[in-house]
């Protein structure tokens, strides 16, 4: 086939793009996800796919990336924490019914990792872990040039690696204590600030009590000298660095590539992360893995979603 369409469903935004087999993007459209009803999400997907094709043209195969563990063998997926509409529908089946074309579905971090090694700044890399730090945290693992899914698609749940079993229960999974998602993701940073307030550890006039607080604002406050905000970012960097050192020690990848809005926008987190990896990796391994921020923006996920279509033919 000459082209494919990728659909990337993130925690906040929905993206669709049309790519050719060399990864050249022909169309790209994005919208904020509206509401939590399955019908609305399906309607938005239909709208964006329609924008990617000419009037009357047959829809090419579609690659779908969603923020949950996905079984690549049957398309089923685990609980989706950030897009509840996906828990009440089989989106891949609905898209197949709607457009009458082949649908390939995988986890969003897996798709992004695939996009990087097939089309992006890590093209040709055979052993890579891609970590996305945004609304939530996840990872895609490439080993020997292939995506690693595990038994049922659950490989790469990096955000729910625990770095402190005596820490608070993770607000997202509700199963584990000290998940790095609950410490270093965009939602996690805000949640930690709320917990400081609830526990009486913030001054009454602290700007971290702002109901409209978000991760970007925490970064601005830290840059302005707010010690509590700086402490949140320092701990986030330590958590990510510790988990990344564990990952390097376990998998011995050639490259660990980071993306996502939090990593892009928070230099303080990034520097602490890198220092922590340097301190904690096994001596014989730390010099082997390149730890880097990718140059691509949010489009990496939707490019990877399209790449899923061709992956089945490799």
The half-sphere exposure of 231 on its side-chain side, counting CA atoms within 13 A, is 9
Residue 312 pLDDT class (50, 70, 90 cuts): low
> How many other CB atoms are found less than 10 A from the CB of residue 204?
7
Q: How far apart are CA 13 and CA 282, in angstroms?
A: 38
8 Å CB contact between 300 and 19 = no
pLDDT score of 252: 94
By C-alpha distance, which of 309, 261, 301, 296 is closest to 112?
Answer: 301
Calculate mean pLDDT across residues 150-155.
Answer: 90
Tokens 């990617």 -> residue: 52
User: How many Å is the Cα radius of gyration of the chain?
Assistant: 19
Query: Buried b / exposed e across 13-39, counting CB within 10 Å, b at 16+?
Result: ebbbbbbebebeeeebbeeebeeeebe
9 - beta bridge partners? 14
Lowest pLDDT segment from 52-56, 257-261, 283-287: 283-287
| pLDDT average, residue stretch 237-253 | 96
Domains of the chain, with CATH numbers? 3-115+298-311 (3.30.420.40), 125-293 (3.30.420.40)
Q: 10 pLDDT exceeds 90?
A: no
Backbone angles phi, psi at 75, to 5 degrees: 80, 0
Q: Quote the CA–CA distance of 78 and 106 in Å, as a whole number.
A: 11
pLDDT tens per residue across span 11-34 = 788 999 999 999 999 999 999 998
| pLDDT higher at 113 or 72 | 113
**pLDDT reported for residue 11:** 78
* Mean pLDDT, range 184-196, rounded to an integer: 97
pLDDT of residue 314: 44
Structural contact between residues 305 and 64, judged by C-beta atoms closer than 8 angstroms: yes
pTM of the predicted model, to two decimals? 0.92
Tell me: pLDDT of 73 over 80: no
Q: Give the closest residue to 106 by CA, choosing from 150, 132, 70, 77.
A: 70
Residue-level pLDDT at 202? 96
Residue 144 burial (C-beta neighbours within 10 Å; 0-12, 13-18, 19+): exposed
Per-residue pLDDT tens for 76-119? 888 888 888 999 999 999 999 999 999 999 999 999 999 999 99
Average pLDDT, the chain: 93
pLDDT-derived band at 74 (thresholds 50, 70, 90) equals confident
For residue 285, is pLDDT > 60? yes
What is the distance between the alpha carbons of residues 60 and 152, in angstroms, rounded to a whole number?
27
Encode pLDDT of 141-151 as tens digits: 999 999 999 98
Provide mean pLDDT across the span 193-211: 97
Between 252 and 10, name the one with better pLDDT.
252
CA distance 2 to 20: 6
Q: Can you list the pairs that 20-25 forms with residues at least 24 positions away whose Cβ atoms lie under 8 Å?
A: 21/310, 22/119, 23/115, 23/118, 23/119, 23/120, 23/303, 23/307, 25/299, 25/303
Q: Is the separation of the CB atoms in 135 and 143 below 8 Å?
A: no
List pLDDT tens digits, range 205-214: 999 999 999 9
The answer on pLDDT for 306 being more than 60 is yes
- CB-CB contact of 174 with 160 (8 Å): no
């Amino acid at each position: 086939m000459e082209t494919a369409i990728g659909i990337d469903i993130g925690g906040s935004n929905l993206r669709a793009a049309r790519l050719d087999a060399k990864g050249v993007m022909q169309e790209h459209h994005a919208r904020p996800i509206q509401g939590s009803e399955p019908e609305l999400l399906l309607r938005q997907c239909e709208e964006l796919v329609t924008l990617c094709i000419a009037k009357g043209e047959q829809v090419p195969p579609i690659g779908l990336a969603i923020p949950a563990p996905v079984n690549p063998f049957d398309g089923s997926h685990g609980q989706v924490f950030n897009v509840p509409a996906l828990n009440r529908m089989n989106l891949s089946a609905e898209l197949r019914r709607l457009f009458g074309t082949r649908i390939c579905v995988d986890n969003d971090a897996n798709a992004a990792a695939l996009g990087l090694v097939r089309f992006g700044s890590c093209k040709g890399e055979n052993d890579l872990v891609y970590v996305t730090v945004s609304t939530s945290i996840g990872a895609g693992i490439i080993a020997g040039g292939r995506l690693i899914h595990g038994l049922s698609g659950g490989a790469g749940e990096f955000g729910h690696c625990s770095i402190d079993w005596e820490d608070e229960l993770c607000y997202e999974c509700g199963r584990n204590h000290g998940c790095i998602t609950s410490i270093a993701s965009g939602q996690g940073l805000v949640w930690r600030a709320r917990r400081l307030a609830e526990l009486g550890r913030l001054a009454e006039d602290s700007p971290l009590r702002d109901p409209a607080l978000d991760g970007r604002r925490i970064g601005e406050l830290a840059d302005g000298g707010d010690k509590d905000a700086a402490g949140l970012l320092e701990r986030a960097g330590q958590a990510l660095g510790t988990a990344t050192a564990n990952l390097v020690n376990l998998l011995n990848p050639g490259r660990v590539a980071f993306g996502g809005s939090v990593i892009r926008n928070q230099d303080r987190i990034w520097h602490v992360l890198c220092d922590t990896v340097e301190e904690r990796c096994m001596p014989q391994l730390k010099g082997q893995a390149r730890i880097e921020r990718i140059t691509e923006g949010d489009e990496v996920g939707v490019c990877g979603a399209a790449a899923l279509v061709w992956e089945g033919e490799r």
